[in-house]
Chains A and B, each alone.
Chain A
Amino acid sequence: MYEAVCAHPDGDSTVARLAATAASAGYDGIVVRNWGATSADPDAVGADTGADVVRGTTVSVTDRAGASERIRRRRENAVVVAARASSPSLNRFVAESERVDVLAAPMADGGDVNHVIVKAARTHGVRLEFDFAGVLRASGGDRVQALRGLRKLRELVEHYDAPFVVSGRPASHLHVRSPRELVAVGAEIGFTDAQVRAGLREWTHLAARNRRRLSAEFIAPGVKRGRYEEDP
């Protein structure tokens, strides 16, 4: 199970500190999903902390015009690409973008989803994110809104069998909660244990799939090097 984190300078803790905390909390690794680049070397941090560090990124989608190009450029350097849209129509745009792995926090900041967006996400293989940050760290009306959003998203995802990921979206090592704690919180807000665990494992699957595709061995989907091929 992996957790998707925002590290320094976007967050308050460095990649290494987040990786060490996540490893002690029981995660196999972290996906660093900063808005920009981090200076950390994933392999060195992974060897130091015992947690696999996956290079990811989050693209802010505020208009359709340049978004595809921005996503394409980020895709070249990142293993996992998440996109965060600022309106329901842009959520749909992201859900229809096959280059994006995860539609991040689709219900946050005035965002919304409907059956069209969820079906589009399923068709194009874009994971919808259940963002537990509002449940874990907000209070009052903000938290009620976050809970309402999670419930709506969960009902749609269950109905259309859409792919999803789960994250506590930690921006500091103090925000990291163990998988068991996320399962316990999920149980209180209507998720099953299996759903939360599957959502955390989906990051692992995404990272492994994309690393395979980025490796030199990969030729095209469904095509792989045969056992008779010889290097010149």
Chain B
Amino acid sequence: MKHLPKHVRPRWRYLAVGIEAWPDAGIERSDFQRALWFAAGNLLGDPGSADAGVRVVAYSFRDGRGEALVRARRGTVSRARAAVACVSAVREHPVRVCVRGVSGTMRAARERYLDGLDTPERRSDVAFDGDARDGVCRGENVDVVAGDDGWVGARRRDCGTDGE
């Protein structure tokens, strides 16, 4: 189909979002998109969700951290932000999705708010609750394996990661 003339094309805003999950979560782009549509549909209803038109236009995720650009129609940024806040799990993996900023172009959003994914350090000597456990360290943050209960989010000050 022929492109619309520029003055009648919809105007978009791009939400740069950070995604945080436990290190063993594997979240594909299609999973995230589905969770976002589900959250928007449930919170805003079908008409509101269609108005906002949220769509994932860029996505990367590795080792429990991710970044994405979410497109929303201009004037619906607040509603899109609310929908993003309601994404609490993707394929049963708990996630935290936070809006880092909003821009008018994908390039500006990427340059200002997305800074790439780091590689975490995996350790097997994290002292937590009087026990040496497996853990994944990122800067000061440490995700510790807590047996069958899953993970515990901690900081380096909560545990010894150098065999202390």
Q: Do A and B come from one complex?
A: yes
Report A's interface with B, CB cutoff 8 A: 8, 12-14, 16-18, 20-21, 25, 40, 44-45, 48-49, 135-137, 139, 143, 172-178, 180-182, 184-185, 187-188
Min distance, Cβ A42 to any Cβ of chain B, angstroms: 13
Min distance, Cβ B148 to any Cβ of chain A, angstroms: 13
Number of interface residues of B (CB under 8 A): 30
With A135-B86, A136-B86, A188-B43 given, is the CB distance from A16 to B155 under 8 Å? yes
- Tell me if B78 and A184 are in contact (CB < 8 A): yes
Closest to B87 in A: A136
Tally of A-B Cβ pairs under 8 angstroms: 90
Q: Is B56 an interface residue (CB 8 A)?
A: no
With A137-B88, A185-B82 given, is the CB distance from A17 to B43 under 8 Å? no
A14 cross-chain contacts in B, Cβ below 8 A: 152-155, 158
Given contact pairs A48-B155, A173-B153, a sample of 17 additional A-B residue pairs in the complex whose CB atoms are under 8 Å apart: A12-B150, A13-B152, A14-B154, A17-B153, A17-B154, A17-B158, A21-B96, A40-B158, A136-B85, A175-B88, A175-B96, A180-B81, A180-B99, A181-B82, A181-B99, A184-B78, A188-B82
Candidates A20, A40, A143, A177; contact of B85 at CB < 8 Å: A177
Closest to B96 in A: A174
- Tell me if A184 and B79 are in contact (CB < 8 A): yes
Q: Mark each residue of chain B from 68 to 102: 1 if its CB lies under 8 Å from any CB of chain A, else 0.
A: 00000000001101101110110000111011000
State A168–B158 Cα separation when bound (angstroms): 24
A178 cross-chain contacts in B, Cβ below 8 A: 98-99
Q: Is B20 an interface residue (CB 8 A)?
A: yes
B84 cross-chain contacts in A, Cβ below 8 A: 181
A13 cross-chain contacts in B, Cβ below 8 A: 152-154
- Tell me if A12 and B153 are in contact (CB < 8 A): yes
